[in-house]
Chains A and B, each alone.
Chain A
Amino acid sequence: MGARQSEEERKAGLSFVIGTEKVHVVILKAQDLAQRNSIIDTMLNLPSLRSTYQLLYLAVPRLLGATIDSATFRSHGIGLLLFDERRIDEAVTPQTARPGIVEMTTRTQEATIAAELATLKSMYSQMEKDFAQLREDLRRMSASEIGSERVPTSLVAPQEPAFAHSVGERMGLPSYFSNNPWLDVLSKRGRTENDLIAG
């Protein structure tokens, strides 16, 4: 094929250069199959290699061939090699990736995200200032009401839960988490002594 082994940093597997294209083969050996974490780790790292190599293969023992869905590899442009002691077969042909474009796209995205973060940060600072001003105004109003009037029940009543509903639903927690105001109350334990009405 005219391939030569790449001199780049040896990741787990083999790297080649064919013409101008860089090829990398990640090898999952028979002994790796016994380690669930090893398989998961290998599979999760595959997409990240697409930005470095134009052609990417995963090589697995032939006995896994029947269990692997080739369509998944095709949709991600990753090639699949099945090997045993006698031969190696290409089960899925990889698609050529263009690392240059991927890098440029990534750099553009990073700049956009950084700009948006800066905007959010300045909005948050402004909100903090507004909130501090509101708190100060409320304190002045309360101080100006002199007398033995009882605190209205509405100000002493439990507050609406800030995140009870969304936390429960998002994290798939049991039903008794749903709309439970204690999630908000307990999450603030230790932050303020104003919670303590009697005890």
Chain B
Amino acid sequence: MRDDREYRSHYTFAMDFGTSDFKFGPITLGEAPRIVNNRGYFPDKDSVMYKAFESTSDVIVGDEVPLYLQSAEELSSRLVYPMRNGVIDKSDDQAWRVVSSLTSFSLDAFKPGNNGFEGYYVVASLSSVSPRYMYEKLMDIFKTIHHGKVRAITVIPQPFAVAIGHGVTTCVVIESGHGNSQICPISKYPVRAAQVALNRGGGDANAITSEILKDTGYGDLANEEAVVRKVKENIGLVPADLDSAIQETKKSPRKVRATYKVPGTRVEIDLDKESWTRFLIGEYVFNPKHEIFESYFGRGMPRPKDVKMGDTVFKGMLDFGEAIIASVERCPVELQQMLYREILLSGGNFSWTVPPKLQEIAVDSPTKIRMLLRERGIKNVSVMMTDSPQFSVWHGCIIYGFAVPENYEWDWQRLEGWMKLSN
């Protein structure tokens, strides 16, 4: 009889289906997974490239995708990002085919020899707002493609994986990506009934940056998503207090002056006297209700709305402080104090820096969250970024796959456990 832990120290496999990237690989990769874009390309089978590479695949995934990309006009129909918002529509056949292809691709990339290999223990992670049918579809994909490569499969929510990877058993994980943000209390299990989702993410910060560029004479750049994102990352700031920051900037505009040169071009952005607007970018992420944003909404910038996706209602205008309190207060009272003591921030939308000269008026994400909670009477909180924001989900999946006993079987009520595929 094989030693289970010894076996799993070699054959645990994790898959993190992020909004932009697909991170995957076995435990033997150590600290970092392999990463490819979470996307697939449906090639034109009459194209020269398709014939030249003699590919029989209907969907191209992984590092080969750029080889097949043709004109920009075709990208919108042929290049599919299945999980841009964390949820795939049940009937979105193309998106599901991309997921299936990525799953096959990842297992084929790590084919072990025959030294007692009896299939991987695979842990996949999805957004915490994924409805039940996404779990069902993903399990069906594995049942179809595994061919002895998978011994058992399970699916866990990404915030749960973050908590595991970070090594904290009682906490609130706040995951903020491109399209949305999720507040998820964890207490040895995900507290699903207490989850709160926001219809706001990095894409909204891009939207306000775009408006700022239009207002400051850079309208031609405002429509180029890649440029807008770079401008946001380089000049956007989170203010400790927006009104004070604007006043301070107007008093000393040179101190806060925002400039950015687009690499490889002669294009240089200089906000000059309008540099105070760099604080709007960060503030909008954390609190879109400030009255200053009404003028942007009035001019046509979309106001974040409450939307329902799958089984979840995503709130548009809640600030992060209100959202965290709403989530924590759905948990038992005895648990709440412990939850406030461990708030973990995960996701690219929390990666805001503070220039040394502006430490009195600009803050980082953990500080901003603490301030929003203090305004509402919640003190004694501890907020921190995850140690490894890029890989914490994958780390958590690996630990889960290693530790959970095989006889803990999948249960559709609890949405946890192993679904066995091989004997």
A195 at the interface (CB under 8 A from B): yes
Top 9 A-B residue pairs of the complex, sorted by shortest distance between their CB atoms: A186-B403, A190-B408, A158-B169, A180-B167, A199-B189, A176-B395, A189-B408, A182-B164, A197-B187
B338 A156 Cβ-Cβ under 8 A: yes
A179 at the interface (CB under 8 A from B): yes
Closest Cβ–Cβ distance, residue B122 to chain A (whole Å): 16
Closest Cβ–Cβ distance, residue B8 to chain A (whole Å): 9
A185 at the interface (CB under 8 A from B): yes
B170 A158 Cβ-Cβ under 8 A: yes
Stretch from A18-26, A77-85, A117-125, A166-174 forming part of the interface with B: A166-174
> Interface residue count for B (Cβ, 8 Å)?
44
Interface string of B326-370 (1 = CB under 8 A from A): 000001101101100000000000000000000000000000000
Tell me the chain B residues, 21-38 only, with Cβ under 8 Å from chain A.
27, 30-31
- A to B contact number (C-beta, < 8 Å): 98
A-B contact pairs, 18 of them (CB 8 A): A150-B334, A156-B334, A171-B6, A173-B402, A174-B27, A176-B395, A176-B399, A177-B402, A181-B169, A183-B403, A185-B169, A186-B399, A187-B405, A190-B408, A195-B188, A197-B189, A198-B332, A199-B192
Chain A residues with CB under 8 Å of B399's CB are 176-177, 180, 182-183, 186
Chain A residues with CB under 8 Å of B6's CB are 171
Q: Interface residue tally of chain A, by bracket?
A: 20 to 34
Q: Specify the chain B residue showing the minimal Cβ separation from A175.
A: B31
Q: Which residues of B line the A interface, CB within 8 A?
A: 5-6, 9, 27, 30-31, 163-165, 167-170, 185, 187-194, 331-332, 334-335, 337-338, 388, 395-396, 398-400, 402-405, 407-409, 414, 416-417
B335 A171 Cβ-Cβ under 8 A: no
A196 at the interface (CB under 8 A from B): yes
Chain A residues with CB under 8 Å of B407's CB are 190
B338 A198 Cβ-Cβ under 8 A: no
Tell me the chain A residues, 127-154 only, with Cβ under 8 Å from chain B.
150-151, 153
